[in-house]
Amino acid sequence: MRDALGGIQSVLVLGGNSDIALATLKELAKERTRTAILAGRDLAKLDQAAEVLRDAGFTAVETVEFDAAATDTHEQIIDDIWAKHPDLDLALVAFGVLGTQVEFDEDPAKAAQAAIINYAGGVSSGLAVAKHLKAQGHGTLAVITSVAGERARADNFVYGSTKAGLDAFTQGLADRLVGSGANVMAIRPGFVRTSMTADMSDGPMATTADAVAKDIVAGLKSGAHTVWSPAKLRFVFAILKTLPRPIWRKVAAGR
């Protein structure tokens, strides 16, 4: 449960090696957060992340094996985590794969696997977390989606479609939990300079994991249902979503 001043004390991160997630946890450490459970597939990297968090001020950090693609295992893993930590304040869904449209065009099975990880994995783990938040009557599920889901571009439409589905799921779940005491927050970052995008040129309004983390923590403090990062993307996409498709194709292609 949050402390007397409303500070988050405990966090579960699904996708514990995410650059954005780690930056968010370090930002939360400044706000008195001291317990973190990092769940992910690469336990060696999770152990390294755990050391970083201990140096940042966390006093209790655990790692748990979690495969976003293995949706049939999610409920049991999350049930086990809650059995050990029966009162978690925040769960952050931070896993995902980017891929390239060229790869997906050439290998439809790879595209389907990305959809399983980015969308189906978010659905199965999100519902499992929501069950516990509802039962305890408080807590927040924060889900990292993307502005790429606001309107799919031809050069990454598979990725964009998975994020669109995840964002719609997050919004629907938030409405479903109204009155339960549990909250759901969608996080819509733009292009973020991270290890996942290291080989890509900066997109428009490129930002950093640290900047997104500050926006996420501000959203948690204010009880926001949606966080845009940077914030001005909200107004940019309000316009872009209304463009006729022929014009949108040119804008998205940079012509």
159 carries an active-site annotation:
yes
Going through the chain in order, the beta strands assigned E by DSSP cover 10-14, 35-40, 60-65, 90-93, 140-144, 183-189, 192-193, 207-208, 226-229
Identified catalytic residue from 159, 169, 191, 228? 159
The reply to whether 4 falls in a domain is no
Residue 48 near residue 73 (C-beta atoms within 8 A)? no
The three-class DSSP label of residue 149 is: helix
User: CA-based angle 230:231:233, to the nearest 5?
Assistant: 80
- The number of folded domains in the chain is 1
Domain assignment present for residue 28? The answer is yes
- pLDDT tens track of the chain, all 255 residues? 666 456 899 999 999 999 999 999 999 999 889 999 999 999 999 999 999 999 999 999 999 999 999 999 999 999 999 999 999 999 999 999 999 999 999 999 999 999 999 999 999 999 999 999 999 999 999 999 999 999 999 999 999 999 999 999 999 999 999 999 999 999 999 989 787 777 777 777 889 999 999 999 999 999 999 999 999 999 999 999 999 999 989 888 876
Indicate which CATH number applies to the domain containing 195.
3.40.50.720
Q: What does the DSSP 8-state code read for residue 127?
A: H
Look at residue 5 and tell me if it is in a domain.
Answer: no
Numbers of helices and strands, H then E, in the chain = 10, 9
pLDDT at 195: 76
Q: In this structure, is residue 180 part of a structural domain?
A: yes
Decide if 244 is inside a domain.
Answer: yes
* Within-domain flag for 1: no
Residue 185 in domain: yes
Which range marks the domain in which residue 69 is found?
10-252
Does residue 2 form part of some domain? no
